[in-house]
Amino acid sequence: MTSTSSKAAKSHAGAPASTGLTIWRGLRGRCPDCGEGSLFTGFLDLKKSCDVCGRDFSFADAGDGPAIFVMIITGFIIVGAALFVELVYQPPYWLHALLWGPLAIILPIGMLRPLKGLLVALQFRHEAAEGKLHKD
């Protein structure tokens, strides 16, 4: 473990937050360290640092994690709901398109930011970083 990665989870406020609190902060898009400052500058763009505590967010790299979780979760919800509605009510296909089409757009957009915040917060909590080889 490098000295920079071990500094990642040390809180400015003293003791590190619990995992539950870190998850809550991430889902709300708040700084995983202080819980006050916003994690995002745009819809999905991360700030360089926290406005409140100054925590550097350069460690944060969620990669494709949020997108794959959103696809899996929304696919499970929408396909499951469509199958349930088809088996129970057997509505016409245009009604399926009317129900699930907008939901397939709205649900992923609504989930993407909280999931990105969650993954960044968990990355902070567990000091996750890119693997590196060290030669001593």
Chain residues binding Zn ion by CB under 5 A are: 31, 33-34, 37, 50, 52-53, 55
Helix (H, G, I), strand (E, B) or coil at 51: coil
Q: Select 62 or 70, whichever has its Cβ closest to Zn ion.
A: 62
Q: Select 34 or 119, whichever has its Cβ closest to Zn ion.
A: 34
Q: Could you tell me the smallest distance in angstroms from the CB atom of residue 52 to Zn ion?
A: 5
Q: Are 33 and 50 in contact (CB under 8 A)?
A: yes
Q: Are 47 and 54 in contact (CB under 8 A)?
A: no
Residue 41: C-alpha distances to residues 18, 47, 51 (Å): 25, 5, 11
Q: Could you tell me the smallest distance in angstroms from the CB atom of residue 46 to Zn ion?
A: 12
Nearest-angstrom CA–CA distance, 49 and 40:
10
Q: Select 55 or 125, whichever has its Cβ closest to Zn ion.
A: 55
Q: At a CB cut-off of 8 Å and minimum separation 6, what does 122 contact? A: 22, 23, 26, 128
Q: Select 50 or 115, whichever has its Cβ closest to Zn ion.
A: 50
Q: Could you tell me the smallest distance in angstroms from the CB atom of residue 55 to Zn ion?
A: 5
Q: Could you tell me the smallest distance in angstroms from the CB atom of residue 12 to Zn ion?
A: 7
